[in-house]
Amino acid sequence: MILKILNKIKKQKDLNGNEWDIIMRTAAAMKETSLCALGQSAIMPISSAYTYFKDELENQGE
């Protein structure tokens, strides 16, 4: 799911404006519900990038 959304953002195709919200909600759910450390840490690169580069990522392609 996250990969599909990231590809949509990359291609600037069929965007509805809430892609990053969906990604971050999914990341939070993965972190809260995963039983193993791998599941909790798999989303960290994307969530960290969004935390520090939010404006750049949301305005990509403009």
In this predicted model, what pLDDT tens digit does every residue of 18-56 receive, in sequence order? 888 999 999 999 989 999 888 888 889 999 999 999 998
Q: Does residue 24 or residue 14 have the better pLDDT? A: 24
How many domains in the chain? 1
Helices (H), 1-62: 2-11, 19-33, 37-41, 44-58
Range of the domain at 34: 2-58
Average of per-residue pLDDT across 56-60: 82
- State how far the Cα of 39 lies from the Cα of 17, in Å rounded to an integer: 27
- State how far the Cα of 14 lies from the Cα of 30, in Å rounded to an integer: 25
Supply the pTM of this predicted model: 0.77
